[in-house]
Amino acid sequence: MANASLKIDDKEYPLPVITGTEGEKAIDTRRLRAETGYIAYDQGYGNTGSCESAITFLDGDNGILRHRGYPIEQLAQHSDFVETAYLIIYGELPNAAKRKEFGLLLRKNAAIETQMQKIFEGFPKGAPPMAMLSSIVGSLAAHYPELATNDFEKDLKNFDLAAAMAISKVRTIGAMLYRYQRGLPYVFPKQDLPFCENFLHMMFSEPYKDYVAAPEVAKALNLLLLLHADHEQNCSTSTVRMVGSSAANLFTSISAGISALSGPLHGGANSAVMHMLQAIHDEGDDGTRFIAAAKSGSKSNRLMGFGHAVYKNFDPRAKIIGKACDDVLNKLGIKDPLLAIAKNLEQAALHDDYFVSRKLYPNVDFYSGIIMRALGIPMNMFTVMFAIGRTPGQIANWRELASNPKGRIYRPRQVYVGPVKREYVPIAQRT
């Protein structure tokens, strides 16, 4: 076991070392302030382990992502979204009986009750979908208060039902807000349809004409959701833990996570990529201008879909989804000029010293938008799709947090750099 110590002036303080099951090492600084008077400064928490977690292992330097030990490549090839959701939440792949039971619970809890449907009407038709989604998901705590008591012990007793509701209803709310915004009548979930087919049915059915998803379309949607199902302590999942750490219930915590996901540097990146590709297409450019602008260092000109806070080699999800893009478009007989632009842009960036030296590679969002477009999902719904996919990871993290008897409220500190103490000046004496 490694030893660590911190020397401040002449005094040395031993610090315990924690080693994870994959050999990741951490210096335990929990007693640092109490013993030294110092805090650890880590703006953005890039070097801070906020928890111990048994859900997802991510090695950004080597492009590794595993859920409960299973490599993402194997799950993408052999599993589907619902099975992977179960794995992420409960820790093991379900046997046939458990898989059936879980699927049934999702199907039974898919519908949005009449009273809750009225919430939609309170939003302007052009409201940003993520603003609607986070609010309506937050309202689940009001509609099912018995599952959302803000008491971990009680809420954990009802966890299976609350988790199934969250997964199933976030998906239904996503489809309903799509229809609400278009002035279309809602299409209600069908109990006999699997998860992804049901979503597509609720989105795209027409009066007297049910949408029946082609197998390749349902498969592509399954893959897309599965690849987003969890991603360790990212911004939105950390938000779920932050909110949950105050003993807030599952629905409220997930709603906060959805809000965090809406920003363009996180879940909003997928539509930003498509805007960028479309602009390149409209200009008849080959992407040179965007690459040059991205190298200026300005945050607003970044090459969207490139770079990642933790993957500094490649994003394994991007490899899977990049390949799936080709397959899906081929199977559906779609030729999307934006795919060719994306590939050219990727090649140009991968051979450009600016991107290479900063270890900026395509992330999952670089190609996910092209798949969603092929499935008929409009751009302003892309982040909603991400949110539907991420729900299992948020639920699993909330459960892990709520089940930890030694957990404490998340409350970081700061280094104050504002004015030092001064006396109040009455308004008449102020210059």
When asked if residue 309 is in the footprint of ligand ACO (CB under 6 A), the reply is yes
Q: List Cβ neighbours of 53 (8 Å cut-off, separation of 6 or more).
A: 232, 233, 397, 400
Structure tokens at 168: 């199933």
Residue 226 identity: L
Q: Helices 316-332 and 337-350 meet at what angle, rounded to 10?
A: 150
Q: Give 24-53 as a 3 state SS string.
A: CEEECCCCHHHHHCCCCCCHHHCCCCCCCC
Q: Which stretch binds ligand ACO (CB under 6 A): 124-132, 307-315, 387-395, 410-418?
A: 307-315
* Minimum CB–partner distance for residue 113 and ligand ACO (Å): 32
CA pair distance 109, 167, nearest whole angstrom:
9
What is the Cα–Cα distance from 229 to 420, expressed in whole angstroms? 46
Lay out the site mask for ligand ACO across 153-192 (x = CB under 6 A, - = otherwise).
Answer: ----------------------------------------
Active site residue 353: no
| Region binding ligand ACO by CB under 6 A among candidate stretches 112-120, 178-186, 264-272, 402-410 | 264-272
Q: How far is the CB of 54 from ligand ACO (least distance, A)?
A: 22
Kindly state the smallest distance separating residue 66's Cβ from ligand ACO, in Å: 17
The residue from 303, 318, 388, 402 that contacts ligand ACO (CB under 6 A) is: 303
* Interface residue with ligand ACO, options 174, 305, 316, 392 (CB under 6 A): 305
Least distance to ligand ACO from the beta carbon of 260, Å? 10
Please calculate the CA angle 178-179-184 and round it to the nearest 5 degrees.
160
Instruction: State in Å, rounded, how far the first CA of the chain is from the last one.
Output: 62
- HEC string of 230-299 equals CCCCCHHHHHHHHHHCCCCCHHHHHHHHHHHHCCCCCCCHHHHHHHHHHHHHHHCCCCHHHHHHHCCCCH
Nearer to ligand ACO, 243 or 360 (CB): 360
367 lies in the site for ligand ACO, by CB under 6 A? no
Q: Pick the closer one to ligand ACO by CB: 66 or 317.
A: 317
Q: Which of 51, 114, 146 has the alpha carbon at shortest distance from 397? A: 51
Out of 302, 319, 373, 399, point to the residue binding ligand ACO (CB under 6 A): 302
Q: Is 167 exposed, middle or buried (0-12, 13-18, 19+ CB in 10 A)?
A: buried
Residue 297 binds ligand ACO (CB under 6 A) = yes
Q: Is 319 in the site for ligand ACO (CB under 6 A)?
A: no
Distances in Å between the Cα of 82 and the Cα atoms of 89, 101, 185, 302 are: 11, 12, 27, 34
Q: Which of 108, 179, 190, 266 touches ligand ACO by CB under 6 A?
A: 266
- By CB under 6 A, tell whether 258 contacts ligand ACO: no
Residue 316 binds ligand ACO (CB under 6 A):
no
* 333 DSSP assignment: T
Identify which of residues 218 and 269 has a Cβ nearer to ligand ACO in the complex: 269
Q: Which is nearer to ligand ACO, 172 or 383 (CB)?
A: 383
CA distances from 359 to 61, 277, 298, 304, 307 (A): 10, 21, 17, 14, 7
Report if residue 364 touches ligand ACO, rule: CB under 6 A. Answer: yes
Cα distances (Å, whole numbers) of residue 232 to 121, 222, 270: 35, 20, 19
Specify the stretch interacting with ligand ACO by CB under 6 A; choose among 48-56, 113-121, 326-334, 363-371. 363-371
For this structure, is 351 an active site residue? no
Q: Which residue's CB comes closest to ligand ACO?
A: 307
| Residue 358 lies near ligand ACO (rule: CB under 6 A) | yes
Among 120-128, 132-140, 241-249, 265-273, which window interacts with ligand ACO (CB under 6 A)?
265-273
Q: Specify the residue for token string 């008929």.
A: 376
> What does the CA dihedral 165, 167, 168, 174 come to, rounded to 10 degrees?
120
Q: How far is the CB of 236 from ligand ACO (least distance, A)?
A: 9
Residues that bind ligand ACO (rule: CB under 6 A) add up to a total of: 18
> β-pairing, 64-67 with 17-19?
unpaired
Q: Which of 308, 326, 327, 353 is catalytic?
A: 308
Interacting span for ligand ACO (CB under 6 A) from 105-113, 132-140, 241-249, 306-314: 306-314
Residues annotated as catalytic are: 308, 365
Residues at the site binding ligand ACO, with contacts judged by CB under 6 A: 265-266, 269, 294, 297, 302-309, 358, 360, 363-365
